[in-house]
Amino acid sequence: MEKIFGKPLITQEEILHRVRELGLQITQDYMGKNLILIGILKGAFAFTADLSRSIGIPAGIDFLMTTTRESPGGESTKIISDPTLNLTGTDVLLVEDIVDSGVTARMLLEKLAAHRPKSVRFCALLDKTGGRTVDIRPDYAGFSIPNKFVIGYGLDYKNKYRTLPFIAVLDDRTKA
């Protein structure tokens, strides 16, 4: 494994413990419902896999893929796929790695609402509450984190570090 400078912000043990707690909560809240998890690729691949296995009721699983592009006006995120399951009348839970400004989550929730599910809620592993420009709050959040760029457990910097089992703050030396 490559050397990551600085210590983990959230260790693998802390992540897995919190993911189990979220899974328990979701299990209680969705008992008897027709739950479908929608994981957002690529960032939420690890979280979706672990969370889904911490949920003790039958749940469907699907994915939406997003890409982020640097542009002169800043970053812009696009949704580049559609759900494959029929979401009409189901209880959809959007599973995201991180919510920062909230722009991406709002766009994803609007897209999912267009499929006429019975309910749509939103679960994010990490919540950068200080970055919000849109009035949106996850229904389930793993950890509140400071307004710093983080990597690991699905989150990347220039397509690297997604496979780290912990979350760390991106260090200038890690960037190099």
Tell me the residue ranges of DSSP E strands in 4-59.
35-41
Q: Does 101 bind ligand IMP (CB under 6 A)?
A: yes
Among 4, 150, 167, 168, indicate the residue that binds ligand IMP (CB under 6 A). Answer: 150
Residue 127 a catalytic site member: no
Pairing of strands 140-144, 119-127: parallel
Query: Which of these ranges, 1-9, 16-24, 25-33, 148-156, lies near ligand IMP under the rule CB under 6 A?
Result: 148-156
Among 102, 117, 142, 152, indicate the residue that binds ligand IMP (CB under 6 A). Answer: 102
For residues 69 to 98, the per-residue mask of contacts with ligand IMP, x marking binding by CB under 6 A and - elsewhere, is --------x------------------xxx
Long-range (24+ apart) CB contacts under 8 A made by 163-166 are 164/1, 164/4, 165/12, 165/15, 166/8, 166/10, 166/11, 166/12, 166/15
Cβ of 90: how many Cβ atoms within 10 Å? 20
Q: Does 15 bind ligand IMP (CB under 6 A)?
A: no
Least Å from the CB of residue 56 to Mg ion: 27
Over its C-alpha atoms, the chain yields an Rg (Å, rounded) of 16
**Among all residues, which ones are annotated catalytic?**
100
Where along the sequence are the contacts to ligand IMP (CB under 6 A)?
43, 68, 77, 96-105, 149-150, 155
